[in-house]
Amino acid sequence: MPLNNSNAAILSDLNEPQKQAVTHRDGALLVVAGPGSGKTRVITRRAAYLVQTGVPARSILAITFTNKAAEEMRHRIEALGVSRGMWVYTFHALGVRLLREFGSLAHLQSGFSIYDEADSLRVVKEAMQIEGVSEAVLKPDAIRTRISHAKNRLLTPQECTEQADWFEQATVARVYEAYAQLLHTRNAVDFDDLLMRVAVVLRDHADITERLNIRFRYVLIDEYQDTNHAQYLIAHLLSKHHGNICATGDPDQSIYAWRGADIRNILEFERDYPNAVVVRLEQNYRSTGQILRAASQLIQRNRQRKNKKLWTAADAGEPVRMWEFSEGSDEAKRIADTIAELRGDRRRYSDFAIFYRVNAVSRGMEEALRNRGIPYKIARGVEFYNRKEIRDTLAYLRVLANPADEVALLRIINTPARGIGKTTVDRLRTHANETRKSLLETLRAAETAPGLRGAAVKRAHAFGELLGQMQTVLDTPISEAVSSVLSLSGLEEALRKERDVGGEDRLANVEELVTAAMRYERENEEASMAEFLNHISLVSDQDAVDENAGCVLLMTLHAAKGLEFPIVFLVGLEQGLLPHERSLGLSGDVEEERRLCFVGITRARERLYLSRAQERLIRGRPMPRPASQFIRELDTGDLIWKNYQTTSTRGFAGSTIDGFVPLVEDLPPEEAAKLTPKRRLRSGSLRATAGDGSGIGDEDALFAGRARSSEAAAGGSSSTGANWKPGTLIQHDRYGVGQVLWVRPGGGQTRAGIRFAGHGEKTLILELAPIRRLERGKQ
DNA sequence: AGCAAGATGCTTTTT
DNA sequence: GCATCTTGCT
């Protein structure tokens, strides 16, 4: 097809592989897109190209993982002049949309509720109670996770029961069955159902699949590396007849395996689609050469990947910094100072981002930034829709839209307080179960419940009456219904009465909900309350990340995917944090942690600061922190190292010179032994300028201390614990002499409780801690 | 019924 | 360290 003018515009600023991906017409296409390689550009241009070459916009279906990604894609495609009508959805929103049409096939009634993880957990607990499974034996959340994984793999409770070959699996299967039954009677689905049920309908109803294949002739899936089996099957079936599936993604950025994503979906794409065209986008337009080199070197350690050679035409740029601190608080302070300094140098606050592995690390960062007067925002946590007052309001609406929604009903039955206490609720629920009626019905016939006294019956009636009256608000516009519920329920009044701090905020929050409803009804004129509620269920805090808020942004590495910043601080490069300790066990996956680190590094455009602390507050307690293995893995020899050692905090066992503590682990042990403290210090600063990879910053030097203590830990024999009996005296590089109190092997690591003079008891990992045995008569 | 102190447990998380 | 749940008191 000859190119017309706009085609030329669509292709003009693309490189060759990008062009190939954009202009690929029919058949399977896999775009393996490295970070910063213009993936989003390729997807949007491809959509525009298809339309300009005659494919109706409404015949294209694009699937993303986040609402934010979907929105951005929609905007960018419209900006390219493509008419509306294209379907751009998240997998889950697509699920809702399809279940609205085919829900009856999945045994759902209209107005069904979507249960988030918190709701779902309540139902799991209820199911456990029914099945008589003690929460002490299996944690409800662990069961919830396992049910979730089963659903992602499209396993029904029956199949789980059949496959269960030991007691624990059978127990989970039993709870799963009861859980599914409870969801069914509540006319509710969880997040996983939105995928599983659609996948099953498509799998079992060839006619529907065929119709959808005719409706959508081109299917695009972004972040394909993060698809789970259900999503894989949905994508596969939706393109089964025409085969026009275009998957984009990067195996190196797969960071959700722990939640069911299967990296094999992308690694084995070519096996699933033998005629697939594979395009690799390897040119990076985002980062400097130095940043990209570190990232590439790190990720090459992974075995589970498609080889990919990232390159850039950009300058090498500034070397990557590696900062080491005595303590987490020093790290935070130094970073805040650096941001303040660099901001004077024509930088805006929104140029900076700070990434960490776990949310808990953000607190120290926040404090330091606050003290420095630096505006910041955190992309996490206390999201709008998770606030108590919002959830309460939504629970009322949920009960109105879906009277079977018992989780919501239980939430509001005594909120605000109306004298229906725990005892009354228990009796009502028992009676409801015995008479096989819904809780709502039982509420209205409370007098039939055994054990309920006059006053309790009256209150129950009154509440049932109230809900009945409220039912009429569903005939009004959504935002009006929200307002009416707020006043009729007494929630508004209760909030107004809250004189304590935050009462005003909570009132403002519920008003914000009314505003959100107004916005929604403007954009979706025909929508019902149930649809509004479904929409809200699928909104996440991830969607609220605003890269241009004029603030420094703080977020977890998971939240950082897909974003980019001129200057990035990646903090807490410590063994146990990144890689996280939960990935270091027997079943753990260090490769995913490495990918997480890779994702973090590749967010940086111009400057990258990596940092670690030797000691950090973990759950309020100071814990020694060994360096992350990733530091040496990514060190190309160009890193600029800096030790910010202070003695201001607590006395170290080692001698201190000029306010610095020698970092013994920075040098091979033989070297360290020869050096005087002063020379150690100088060698530290020498390394800080040795960017030529001359060998001074030997890649394993940092780990010399660790390697040595591992040797010592092994004690010449293969059994680690054997030589570390309680009572053994040891020497720790920083805490000095200590005595082993207990030893606990497990998960390839041996933990030991050691009491140090002046530092109290610490729990150390023998394989990692910078310790050595003290031989009798020595020292 | 309602509250407050105390115990427990938990810390990755697109939807 | 913090949030959530439990227990015990009024």
pLDDT tens digits, one per residue of A19-60: 999 999 999 999 999 999 999 999 999 999 999 999 999 999
Whether nucleic acid strand C comes within 7 Å of the CB of A507, the answer is no
Catalytic annotation present for A441:
no
Q: Cβ within 7 Å of strand B: which of A 284-313?
A: none
CA nearest to nucleotide B2 C1': residue: A421
Report CA dihedral (A117, A184, A149, A231) to the nearest 10 degrees.
-100
Question: What's CA A488's distance to the chain center, in Å?
Answer: 38
Alpha-carbon span A424 to A431, nearest angstrom: 11
Would you state the structure tokens that stand for residue A508, as one six-digit string? 């403002």
Whether nucleic acid strand C comes within 7 Å of the CB of A518, the answer is no
Q: Is residue A488 classed exposed, middle or buried when 0-12, 13-18 and 19+ CB atoms within 10 A define those classes?
A: middle
List the A244 CA – B6 C1' distance (angstroms): 61
3-state secondary structure A11-63: HHCCCHHHHHHHHCCCCCEEEEECCCCCHHHHHHHHHHHHHHCCCCHHHEEEE
pLDDT above 90 covers a percentage of chain A that reads 52
Residues 6+ apart with CB under 8 A from A489: A393, A396, A412, A416, A466, A470
**SS3 of residue A743 by DSSP:** strand
List the A321 CA – B9 C1' distance (angstroms): 37
Catalytic annotation present for A351:
no
Q: What are the backbone angles phi and psi of residue A333, rounded to the nearest 5°?
A: -65, -45
**SS3 of residue A749 by DSSP:** strand
Would you state the structure tokens that stand for residue A654, as one six-digit string? 């080692």
Alpha-carbon span A174 to A146, nearest angstrom: 12
Cα end-to-end distance, chain A, whole Å = 83
CA nearest to nucleotide B9 C1': residue: A139
Whether nucleic acid strand B comes within 7 Å of the CB of A543, the answer is yes
Nucleotide with smallest C1' distance to residue A422 CA: B1
List the A136 CA – B7 C1' distance (angstroms): 15
Q: Which of A52, A248, A253, A556 is catalytic?
A: A253
> Which segment of A323-332, A578-587, A735-744 scores lowest on mean pLDDT?
A735-744
Nucleotide with smallest C1' distance to residue A425 CA: B1
Name residue A12's amino acid: S
Nucleotide with smallest C1' distance to residue A70 CA: B14
Calculate mean pLDDT across residues A212-216.
97
DSSP state of A693: -
Name residue A112's amino acid: F
Distances A69 to A222, A223, A258, A594 between C-alpha atoms, Å:
9, 10, 22, 24
Whether nucleic acid strand B comes within 7 Å of the CB of A616, the answer is no
pLDDT at A664 over 60: no
Whether nucleic acid strand B comes within 7 Å of the CB of A250, the answer is no
List the A148 CA – C3 C1' distance (angstroms): 24
pLDDT at A695 over 80: no
User: Which pLDDT score, from 0 to 100, does residue A768 have?
Assistant: 66
Summarize pLDDT for A88-118 with one digit per residue, the tens: 999 999 999 999 999 899 899 989 999 988 8
Whether nucleic acid strand C comes within 7 Å of the CB of A422, the answer is no
Q: Which nucleotides of B are covered by protein (CB under 7 A)?
A: 1-3, 9-15
Nucleotide with smallest C1' distance to residue A621 CA: C1
Whether nucleic acid strand C comes within 7 Å of the CB of A363, the answer is yes
Cα angle, residue A350 at apex, residues A347 and A353 outer, rounded to 5°: 105
Q: Which of A68, A506, A603, A772 is catalytic?
A: A603
Q: Cβ within 7 Å of strand B: which of A 193-232?
A: 223, 226
Q: Cβ within 7 Å of strand B: which of A 582-611?
A: 582-583, 596
- Averaged pLDDT of chain A: 82
Query: Tokens 């050679």 identify what position?
Result: A309
Query: Tokens 């689609």 identify what position?
Result: A273
pLDDT at A779 over 60: no
Alpha-carbon span A314 to A411, nearest angstrom: 56
Alpha-carbon Rg for chain A, nearest whole angstrom, is: 29
User: Which pLDDT score, from 0 to 100, does residue A453 have?
Assistant: 76
Q: Which of A39, A68, A217, A561 is catalytic?
A: A39
Q: Is residue A131 classed exposed, middle or buried when 0-12, 13-18 and 19+ CB atoms within 10 A define those classes?
A: middle
User: Which pLDDT score, from 0 to 100, does residue A654 have?
Assistant: 34
Residues 6+ apart with CB under 8 A from A314: A284, A285, A287, A288, A289
The larger pLDDT score, comparing residue A252 to residue A130, is at A252
Residues 6+ apart with CB under 8 A from A40: A72, A73, A76
List the A665 CA – C6 C1' distance (angstroms): 47
Summarize pLDDT for A149-181 with one digit per residue, the tens: 999 999 999 999 999 888 888 999 999 999 999
Cα angle, residue A340 at apex, residues A348 and A571 outer, rounded to 5°: 95
pTM of the model: 0.81
Whether nucleic acid strand C comes within 7 Å of the CB of A674, the answer is no
Distances A110 to A89, A91, A203, A534 between C-alpha atoms, Å:
21, 20, 22, 11
Nucleotide with smallest C1' distance to residue A593 CA: B12
Whether A387 and A509 have beta carbons less than 8 Å apart is answered as yes
User: Which pLDDT score, from 0 to 100, does residue A296 have?
Assistant: 95
Alpha-carbon span A598 to A477, nearest angstrom: 48
Whether A736 and A757 have beta carbons less than 8 Å apart is answered as yes
Q: Which nucleotides of C are covered by protein (CB under 7 A)?
A: 1-2
Whether nucleic acid strand C comes within 7 Å of the CB of A620, the answer is yes
Nucleotide with smallest C1' distance to residue A255 CA: B12
pLDDT at A337 over 60: yes
Nucleotide with smallest C1' distance to residue A620 CA: C1
Q: Which of A40, A156, A636, A647 is catalytic?
A: A40
Q: Cβ within 7 Å of strand B: which of A 555-574?
A: 556, 558-559, 561
User: Which pLDDT score, from 0 to 100, does residue A725 have?
Assistant: 63
Nucleotide with smallest C1' distance to residue A382 CA: C3
Catalytic annotation present for A223:
yes
Nucleotide with smallest C1' distance to residue A538 CA: B15
DSSP state of A668: -
Using alpha carbons, select from A272, A261, A277 the residue that is nearest to residue A239. A272
List the A762 CA – B8 C1' distance (angstroms): 22
Would you state the structure tokens that stand for residue A557, as one six-digit string? 């590495």
Catalytic annotation present for A253:
yes
Using pLDDT thresholds of 50, 70 and 90, give the confidence band for residue A683: very low
Catalytic annotation present for A40:
yes
List the A436 CA – B5 C1' distance (angstroms): 39
The larger pLDDT score, comparing residue A288 to residue A457, is at A288
Alpha-carbon span A710 to A188, nearest angstrom: 53
DSSP state of A576: B
List the A125 CA – B10 C1' distance (angstroms): 18
User: Which pLDDT score, from 0 to 100, does residue A449 have?
Assistant: 82
Whether nucleic acid strand B comes within 7 Å of the CB of A415, the answer is no
Whether A196 and A170 have beta carbons less than 8 Å apart is answered as no
Catalytic annotation present for A39:
yes
Whether nucleic acid strand C comes within 7 Å of the CB of A617, the answer is yes
Q: Which of A177, A222, A331, A698 is catalytic?
A: A222
Alpha-carbon span A354 to A653, nearest angstrom: 32
Sign of the CA dihedral with A602 first, then A603, A609, and A615 last: negative
pLDDT at A741 over 60: yes
Nucleotide with smallest C1' distance to residue A383 CA: B13
Q: List beta partners, residue A325.
A: A613, A644
Whether A733 and A712 have beta carbons less than 8 Å apart is answered as no
Alpha-carbon span A113 to A403, nearest angstrom: 10
Using pLDDT thresholds of 50, 70 and 90, give the confidence band for residue A1: very low
Question: What's CA A779's distance to the chain center, in Å?
Answer: 49
Q: List beta partners, residue A765.
A: A751
